[in-house]
Chains A and B, each alone.
Chain A
Amino acid sequence: MIIQVENLRKNYADVKAVNGISFSVKEGSLFSFLGTNGAGKSTTIGILTTLLAQTSGSAKVGGLDVARQGEKVRELIGVVFQTAVLDELLTVRENLDIRAGLYGFSARKRKEAVENAIKLAGISEFANRRYGKLSGGMRRRTDIARALVHTPKLLFLDEPTTGLDPKTRQDMWQMLRDLQRDTGMTVFLTTHYMEEAAESDDIVVIHRGEIRAQGTPLCLKQRYCHDLLKITTTDGEYIEKKMPSTVDALVAAEAYKGRIENIEIINGTLDDVFLNLTEGYENAD
């Protein structure tokens, strides 16, 4: 496990931003951390990336304690933040060169690291342009290149595709998939787009500082959403039933065999999982 979190808590005065969460992330996996705004995602990432100190509990990255071995943890991680953090007045290459200098590389190693990051992120065509003059998609790719400049073992992506158009999002995901395939890097993702989380190996849903569910996308869909069976019969009857799975829906449809005029099976999605887990709790509260 590259990340191990045990009973982690973070309080801001009376507010329990993170309230005793535990989870782990397998090395080389794509892990999604989902939650509504204010659920505790950014606080958790803040603790794992050593930007924030936890109130109690433990968090380990690569077997290292984030609270006690921060500098060593930071050698293992790369972070793509929600907001742009690079300098608009510097070129892409200058931005990367300066960030590479923070990892104690020699001048030659720094140059190699910058060129490698440019190649991995596929940004060579605009590497000499000023960051401030780039489009949203180009900036995001550059942000990712910055996070890769020291070839980290673990890449944190905090809502990396927010505000990007669908084509740019698709291109960025293709880049990340290639990257993960080529380097075996672990990716820790937070996103609002459930179709992006659907490609994850594992998902954790956090709400109001507590973990509501965790598992593979398929497992979560089976547990927290349902398929919808809709049938219109030849004699005008309309049937709508919630079914645990598509197989169950097909079995149920058998009962209407011979008098089906129209049939539709709508698969449950991760959006439904997310809404059921978060809205369900809102209503319960």
Chain B
Amino acid sequence: MLIKRQLLVFFRDRAAVFFSLMSVLMIFALYILFLGNVLAQPLRAFFGDVAGIDNIVGGLMLGGLVAVAALTGCLGAFEIFVSDKKRASMDFMTSPTSRRKLSLQYVLGSSVVGLIMTLAALVLVMAYLTFNGAPLPGLQNMALLLFTVILSVLCGNAFVFFIIQFVNGTNAYAAVSAVVGSLIGFVAGVFVPIGTMPAAVQWIIRIFPMSHSAAMFRQILVDEQLEQLFYGAPAEYLENFRLSQGITYAFGDLIINFWHSAAVLTLSAITFFTLGLIFMKKRQK
């Protein structure tokens, strides 16, 4: 029942829905206004005015946008949990439902809200790309997109669940949300390609789980088009481009593939959720 409550309360609060979509809308607006063109220029300079470059840039940037939506959607949903700490949680805690079950229902509720917000962002991105001439992903890629959405939401949710153990009150949470919402676009390599950043920042991006979500979305959305674009070019050209654009990451000689990133997201989700539970128990004591 708390899952139903979380859905009703979140989606009836228009401000909450709007602000949890704020980062996503900003990225989308910046892409349409100028960032798309800025990011396409180096490719045009190299390949000339070849068809499909705009779709590749769109896939790269908007793939990152869906990863951002997975985190900000969960951030918005967990605001209910934070405000309940001071108010409604007393009410729930005087019911016979165990505290463990209550916590689990909050996490599940936030996951459902995050899933809906991320799917909405994905539909927006797919509609925009298809409308502008990008090929519609095949069934297998559709299934992979759905899989990545679910994994990203689970990881984003666990990450937020961990963070909120250290946040007291809605004001502090709003501040944390604003900071995360502002930084996530950079950390996921949406605004600036990862290859142009200093080595230390690249290292942070590589270990941040949501960057792997962005990489997975980018691989599904642009890999086939990239192979066509780089057809006939030396293989290391394509590999370097993929690394510089955050389509994949390298740890030493190891190039991370789709399933490696999926494993990073899964392990991160388990780790953050476990740590969150440990800290929550400590606080309750």
Please indicate the chain B residues that have their CB under 8 angstroms from the CB of A84 in the complex: 87
Question: Given the interface contacts A87-B5, A98-B1, A98-B2, does A72 sit within 8 Å of B96 by beta carbon?
Answer: yes
Is there an interface contact between B90 and A90, defined as CB atoms closer than 8 Å? no
Is there an interface contact between A71 and B91, defined as CB atoms closer than 8 Å? no
Which of B6-14, B144-152, B207-215 has 4 or more CB atoms under 8 Å from chain A?
B6-14
Is there an interface contact between B96 and A71, defined as CB atoms closer than 8 Å? yes
Please indicate the chain A residues that have their CB under 8 angstroms from the CB of B88 in the complex: 85-87
Is there an interface contact between B1 and A49, defined as CB atoms closer than 8 Å? no
Q: How far is the CB of A48 from chain B (nearest CB, A)?
A: 10
Please indicate the chain B residues that have their CB under 8 angstroms from the CB of A266 in the complex: none
The B interface, classified by DSSP as helix, strand, loop or mixed, is helix
Is there an interface contact between B95 and A103, defined as CB atoms closer than 8 Å? yes
The contact string, 1 if C-beta is below 8 Å from chain B, for chain A 57-97, is 00000000000000110110111010111110110001001
Considering the chains assembled together, what is the distance between the CA atoms of A98 and B87 in angstroms?
A: 16
Q: How far is the CB of B2 from chain A (nearest CB, A)?
A: 7
Identify which of B5, B90, B98 contacts A98 (C-beta below 8 A).
B5
Output the nearest chain B residue to A74 by Cβ-Cβ distance: B96
Chain B contact patch, size range:
10 to 19
Is there an interface contact between B91 and A79, defined as CB atoms closer than 8 Å? yes
Considering the chains assembled together, what is the distance between the CA atoms of A146 and B92 in angstroms?
A: 11
Is there an interface contact between A102 and B97, defined as CB atoms closer than 8 Å? yes
Q: How far is the CB of B201 from chain A (nearest CB, A)?
A: 41
Is there an interface contact between B87 and A71, defined as CB atoms closer than 8 Å? no
Is there an interface contact between A104 and B91, defined as CB atoms closer than 8 Å? no
Please indicate the chain A residues that have their CB under 8 angstroms from the CB of B1 in the complex: 97-98, 100-102
Is there an interface contact between B95 and A74, defined as CB atoms closer than 8 Å? yes
Asked if B228 CB lies within 8 Å of chain A CBs, one says no
Asked if B172 CB lies within 8 Å of chain A CBs, one says no
Q: How far is the CB of A84 from chain B (nearest CB, A)?
A: 8
Asked if B140 CB lies within 8 Å of chain A CBs, one says no
Question: Given the interface contacts A98-B5, A102-B1, does A85 sit within 8 Å of B90 by beta carbon?
Answer: yes
Identify which of B4, B5, B92, B94 contacts A50 (C-beta below 8 A).
B94
Considering the chains assembled together, what is the distance between the CA atoms of A87 and B88 in angstroms?
A: 8
Q: How far is the CB of A49 from chain B (nearest CB, A)?
A: 5
Is there an interface contact between B13 and A81, defined as CB atoms closer than 8 Å? no
Is there an interface contact between A102 and B5, defined as CB atoms closer than 8 Å? no
Please indicate the chain A residues that have their CB under 8 angstroms from the CB of B143 in the complex: none
Is there an interface contact between A75 and B5, defined as CB atoms closer than 8 Å? no
Asked if B93 CB lies within 8 Å of chain A CBs, one says yes
Is there an interface contact between A83 and B87, defined as CB atoms closer than 8 Å? yes
Q: How far is the CB of A52 from chain B (nearest CB, A)?
A: 10
The contact string, 1 if C-beta is below 8 Å from chain A, for chain B 1-40, is 1101100110011000000000000000000000000000
Is there an interface contact between B98 and A71, defined as CB atoms closer than 8 Å? yes
Binding site for B on A (CB under 8 A): 49-51, 71-72, 74-75, 77-79, 81, 83-87, 89-90, 94, 97-104, 146
Binding site for A on B (CB under 8 A): 1-2, 4-5, 8-9, 12-13, 87-88, 90-98
What are some 18 contacts across the A-B interface (CB < 8 A)?
A50-B94, A51-B94, A71-B98, A74-B96, A75-B96, A81-B91, A85-B90, A86-B91, A87-B8, A89-B9, A89-B12, A97-B1, A98-B1, A98-B5, A99-B91, A103-B95, A104-B96, A146-B91
Return the 8 tightest CB-CB contacts between A and B, nearest first. A101-B1, A102-B95, A85-B91, A89-B12, A74-B96, A98-B5, A102-B97, A79-B94
